[in-house]
Structure 1
Amino acid sequence: MSIKHHWLDRERFTNYPRILLGMFILAAICWIVMSKDMVDMKGKPLGYDFITFWAASHLALAGHAADAYQIPLLFAAEKIGVPASQSVFVWYYPPTFYLLVLPLALLPYIVAYWAFILPTLCLYLLALRRVVWNTHAKWCIAAFPGLWMNIFHGQNAFLTATLAAAAVLCLKRRPVLAGVFIGLLAIKPHLALLFPVALLAIGAWRAIIAAATTAVISLALGSLTLGTSTLTACLGSLRYARVFLEGGFLPWPKMPTAFALMRLLGAPVGSAYLVHAIGAGCAVLAVWFVWRRSQDWGLRGAALMTATFLVSPYVFDYDLAWLAFPIAWLALIGLRDGWLRGEREVLVAAWLLPVVMSPLASALHLQVAPFVLACLLGMNVRRVALVAKRSQDRSCSGHDLRGSTI
């Protein structure tokens, strides 16, 4: 009798990431070589979104922090950092993150970019080391498209992913420290929406108090340092973010959300929000179920960090750097407990998602990311339900045996 082997064998698991890593490195070299005056062929600065971090810092150091929320004034500051830039990037961040990037404009643009990306990348890799670290995992992490998307965009996903994962990793033994990490995640509040659900599900009151306290203190510190007008300007700018999101001024193909899916299909704004709300509600219930019914911290963390992308309508491909943690946790569980049908295929799809999502959406006018993310979240729910069913079956069998007469 022959044993049927899975297509994702050790050789492919080792070689495919190496091939993709080489492609990313080649793409980065071409991108830099073909650029001129720190601007690529599309008129965008190298590091894309990082230009907003540098420009906001420049305005704040000049004593005009609130001006960063005014698009013409921000664009003028961006031109100081990269004079040849032709693209406009906007700034919606709260004073908590603003305070973090405040010193960046003390350095030239490219130097500041590396001064931000390299330390946050190191934190990200250190957090991943706590989850999984071996020869094969290193290749998968090095070639992970989410990592490269964040590097190309000069974004903060390394930092936000580290804070979220560190909170999960610390929650069991150091709940107050976990709460501090969650509170610091308020630098991007829409990515912290599910933590209250998870913490309430397990009654982690010390973490909840620590998170709320940290968030309030960090917001107050940022507002006092940069001026209270900065907080007012931030809140006022959110209406522009909503208009840009709904009108397509933000690229829907790069947004892995149900809202983007519906808008790409031509649905009106109200219908897109409705579908997204239904998906978000299901994601909330899934996180509650997993955290309430399972004691496995890998499943808990994977469910939380995956479901985050099904809750907020405002996330991008670079934010999918978060997925390295759910993929790692679920892969370890599969290796430990055995694979269920389709799980490895879902993990491969999730691993590739950050790089294939946008091209597929642009070509097909179909955003596949919500389906992949829903399958990834479904892996968690299925695992928990399966364990619960087995436990119930054992309980029933034990009850029947005890109640029988021999």
Structure 2
Amino acid sequence: MPIPHLQRREMAILAGGAMISALSWLAMVPWNFHGWMIGAPLGRDFVNFWMAPRLVLSGQGAVLVDLPAYSAAIKTAFGMTRDPLLVFVYPPHALLLFAPFAALPFLPGVLLWTAVNLTGLAVTTRMLLQESPARWPILVACVSPPAVAMMMYGHFGGLLALATTVALIEAGRRPVLAGLCLAFLSTKPQFACAIGLMLLLTGQWRCLVAGAVATLALVVASAGLFGIEVWQRFITVTMPMQSAYITGFDAKMIETSVTAYFAARYSGLPASAAWAIQCVVSAACLAFGVAALRRGARDPGVLVVVILGALVMQPYVSHYDLAIAAPALALLVLGHAPGAAPSTVAAWILVPMARILIVFDLPILGVLVPGALFAQAHRLLRPQGTLVPQRAALDAAA
């Protein structure tokens, strides 16, 4: 896939993204390991992924759903005096992924975790480049604003990006491999269901069978290793608690959300209106994703529409999850057809600022990210005769 030589417009966009990313990281005071960052200058939420397996394997799994006890355990482990306000909300089979990293001391664990996820972004970008000899787009994807948000928060968007891309590309040719990737995506169940529904509606159902079998195997393995009680607590306590954060709109707990529902509720709209808006957005996301997927999943423009669609069709998804689309987004920003729309460039640049924007009561990303999905879907799916030169879009964005 050819990548054009960078012009001043693209250079300006990359420079803007780098500046915003650096400032966003510095705003979190990363040198203070007992402040917003915990134990390291990056990977705040990795604390959850490190603590949860340790507690479960030591027979203290009940602590995960006892928020005061969980907070006390984190404070003791890291020598903190304030409440870290962390909650572990992942299905128990995700512990199979987290446990090997939890076996390490925290600092080596978070550094290895970050390196593994950056490798996931690099491999995914290399896959999308196909026969192109270019290597610098890989670097762009790995240090892009969505990747920086992922590193700051310590999430696993790099591994999810690789699994999602392989699942979409190989669903027709190698359904078992795609199914295994879907099983990995089930660590984020809503996202896996959204991707699975798009595949089903495009007639690629065989990978879903393989994915269901593999997911069941992971669930059984996790119950065998960690006990059935951890699943009982997840279903009876964690799931209702996480749902209540969204339906009751606890803005502090979901402050980095980039969805239309969050923007509507945060702006003061009643719940009924916010849900109505989200339903319209979700239906459009599904329609766009299915239409895009019918064109073949290897093209970055298609992947952006499908992945963003699967994300923003949820009432809650955090800014760091945009790292799942980081490789495809990077290639669009670098000029791959159909090019990045101005709203996409703006969202791409501002992603690391989600928490800062909310401090100033600006739920901008809840408008920009769905807007980016709509704009990219329009660029991808409209008749070719109506295409606007992508340089004009880059001019507007710059």
Task: Give the TM-score range, shorter chain.
Answer: 0.7 to 0.9
Distance 1:388 1:242, change over 3 A: farther
AA matched with 2:244: V
In 1, the alpha carbon distance for the partners of 2:286 and 2:120 equals: 28
1:28-86 per-position Cα deviation (integer Å, ceiling 9, x unaligned): 57867741xx213x575543211111221221121233432221232232123312162
Whether the aligned pair in 1 keeps the contact of 2:259 and 2:369 (CA below 8 Å) is: no
Residue of structure 1 equivalent to 2:204: 204
Residue of structure 2 equivalent to 1:214: 214
1:183-219 per-position Cα deviation (integer Å, ceiling 9, x unaligned): 2110111111222222223311321211111111111
- Which of these residues, 67, 70, 76, is aligned with residue 71 of structure 1? 67
> Superposed, which structure 2 residues align to 1:126-205 within 5 Å?
126-132=123-129, 134-205=134-205
Larger helix proportion of the pair: 1
Distance 1:202 1:23, change over 3 A: closer
Q: Unaligned regions of 5+ residues in structure 2, if any?
A: 388-398
In 2, the alpha carbon distance for the partners of 1:190 and 1:331 equals: 27
AA matched with 1:78: I
In 2, the alpha carbon distance for the partners of 1:90 and 1:220 equals: 24
Distance 1:180 1:163, change over 3 A: same
Residue of structure 2 equivalent to 1:279: 281
Q: Which 10-residue stretch deviates more, 182-191 or 45-54?
A: 45-54
Residue of structure 1 equivalent to 2:392: none
In 2, the alpha carbon distance for the partners of 1:109 and 1:49 equals: 12
Q: Which 10-residue stretch deviates more, 96-105 or 259-268?
A: 96-105
Residue of structure 1 equivalent to 2:241: 240
SS of 2:261 mapped into structure 1: helix
AA matched with 1:309: L
In 2, the alpha carbon distance for the partners of 1:101 and 1:286 equals: 34
Equivalent pairs counted in the alignment come to 374
Distance 1:97 1:144, change over 3 A: same
> Superposed, which structure 2 residues align to 1:2-401 within 5 Å?
10-14=7-11, 17=14, 20-21=17-18, 24=21, 34-35=31-32, 38-40=33-35, 42=36, 46=40, 47-84=43-80, 86=82, 87-132=84-129, 134-236=134-236, 237-245=238-246, 246-292=248-294, 294-295=295-296, 297-298=298-299, 299-328=301-330, 330=332, 335=336, 343-386=340-383
Whether the aligned pair in 2 keeps the contact of 1:350 and 1:373 (CA below 8 Å) is: no
In 2, the alpha carbon distance for the partners of 1:373 and 1:77 equals: 38
Whether the aligned pair in 2 keeps the contact of 1:306 and 1:377 (CA below 8 Å) is: no
Distance 1:65 1:254, change over 3 A: same
Whether the aligned pair in 2 keeps the contact of 1:176 and 1:207 (CA below 8 Å) is: yes
Task: Give the TM-score, by structure 1 length.
Answer: 0.81
Higher relative contact order (CA 8 A, sep 6+): 2
Distance 1:80 1:157, change over 3 A: farther
Q: Which 10-residue stretch deviates more, 302-311 or 17-26?
A: 17-26
1:104-152 per-position Cα deviation (integer Å, ceiling 9, x unaligned): 4432222221232212221221112111373552453243111111111
In 2, the alpha carbon distance for the partners of 1:355 and 1:317 equals: 7
Whether the aligned pair in 2 keeps the contact of 1:99 and 1:226 (CA below 8 Å) is: no
The CA RMSD over aligned residues, in Å, is 3.0
In 1, the alpha carbon distance for the partners of 2:293 and 2:212 equals: 20
In 2, the alpha carbon distance for the partners of 1:55 and 1:152 equals: 18
Distance 1:85 1:175, change over 3 A: farther
SS of 2:320 mapped into structure 1: helix
Q: Which 10-residue stretch deviates more, 75-84 or 185-194?
A: 75-84
Whether the aligned pair in 1 keeps the contact of 2:223 and 2:231 (CA below 8 Å) is: yes
Q: Unaligned regions of 5+ residues in structure 1, if any?
A: 1-7, 391-406
Task: Give the TM-score, by structure 2 length.
Answer: 0.83
